[in-house]
């Protein structure tokens, strides 16, 4: 079995997801779209029909930031639409979930409020933990008709499913190293303006990270066993 992971940025790796896919017997191919210091990209997207699963990861930009990522976001959405038409299972994380929403015919917009930290969600599925989940975003998905919302906060959808596609607005894939790297790239004022601190995010990872990794395994298995099949 082959899995295609779309990694948009150098510091946005698939983390726990790629490890779990390998444990489940997938050969994982990772295509990185943007290179350090640039949002422009001419890197071609593979044909998703050659894969048994496609997983687009997160990104700093929103899918609507065409002035930044216009050189490739339309090509990515077209690739995801091709996967949908071919029945290829897809699992999107954060930006990746937003791109899948666009491919499904939905819409993405800025959220009324940033969500950065560890959250517990209103959940509608017995196999998936309500939290705590690591969350870092300022956008929200407006789902098309037919898509099922499975988890949410006050401001936005956190988990959805449509056929053999699913997306999460949070980050089940993260490791402590990933979170620490993201924190290091942001000045203290960034977090103060959003009601937290970088130190608090890392301290909370030390508290919740082990549990979140277990929950991520259960989430990934739900996707592979129930959605992808």
Q: What are the pLDDT digits (tens) for 71-96? A: 999 999 999 999 999 999 999 999 99
Q: What own/partner pairs with CB < 8 Å and gap ≥ 24 does 212-218 have?
A: 212/118, 212/132, 212/133, 212/134, 212/172, 212/174, 213/16, 215/128, 215/129, 215/131, 215/133, 215/172, 216/16, 216/17, 216/20, 216/172, 216/173, 217/16, 217/20, 218/127, 218/128, 218/129
Tokens of 85: 């038409």
* The pLDDT of residue 58: 98
**Per-residue pLDDT for 169 more than 90?**
yes
37: left (phi over 0), alpha (psi -120 to 50) or beta: left
Tell me how far apart the alpha carbons of residues 96 and 12 are, in angstroms, rounded to a whole number: 11
Reported as a pLDDT band with limits 50, 70 and 90, residue 124 is: confident
**Per-residue confidence band for 123, with pLDDT thresholds at 50, 70 and 90:** very high
What is the domain class of 2-227 according to CATH? alpha beta
User: What is the pLDDT at residue 187?
Assistant: 94
- Whole-number pLDDT of residue 56: 98
Question: Average pLDDT of the chain?
Answer: 97
Task: Report domain extents, the chain.
Answer: 2-227
Catalytic positions are 94, 171, 173
Q: How far apart are CA 113 and CA 176, in angstroms?
A: 24
Is pLDDT at 197 greater than 90 in this prediction? yes
pLDDT value at 139 more than 90: yes
Residues 186-218 as b/e (b if ≥16 CB within 10 A, e otherwise) read eeeeebeebebebeebeebbeebbeebbebbee
Confidence of residue 18 (pLDDT cuts 50, 70, 90): very high
pLDDT digits (tens, 9 = 90+) for 28-44: 999 999 999 999 999 99
């Amino acid at each position: 079995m082959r899995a295609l992971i779309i990694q948009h940025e150098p510091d946005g790796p698939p983390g726990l997801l790629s490890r779990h896919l390998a444990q489940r017997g997938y050969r994982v191919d990772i295509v990185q779209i943007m290179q350090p210091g640039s949002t422009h990209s001419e890197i071609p997207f593979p044909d998703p029909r050659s894969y048994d699963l496609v997983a687009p990861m997160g990104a700093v930009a929103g899918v609507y930031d065409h002035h930044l990522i216009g050189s490739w976001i339309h090509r990515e959405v077209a690739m995801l639409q091709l996967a949908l038409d071919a029945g290829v299972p897809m699992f999107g994380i954060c930006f990746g979930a937003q791109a899948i929403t666009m491919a499904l015919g939905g819409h993405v917009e800025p959220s009324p409020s940033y969500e950065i930290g560890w959250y517990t969600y209103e959940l509608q599925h017995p196999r998936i933990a309500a939290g705590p989940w690591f969350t870092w975003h300022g956008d929200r998905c407006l789902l098309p008709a037919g898509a099922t919302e499975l988890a949410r906060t006050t401001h936005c959808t956190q988990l959805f499913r449509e056929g053999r596609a699913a997306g999460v607005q949070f980050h089940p894939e993260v490791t402590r190293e990933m979170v620490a790297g993201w924190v290091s790239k942001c000045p203290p004022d960034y977090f103060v303006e959003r009601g937290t601190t970088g130190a608090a995010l890392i301290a909370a990872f030390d508290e919740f990270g082990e549990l979140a990794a277990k929950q991520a395994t259960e989430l990934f298995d739900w996707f592979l066993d129930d959605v992808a099949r």
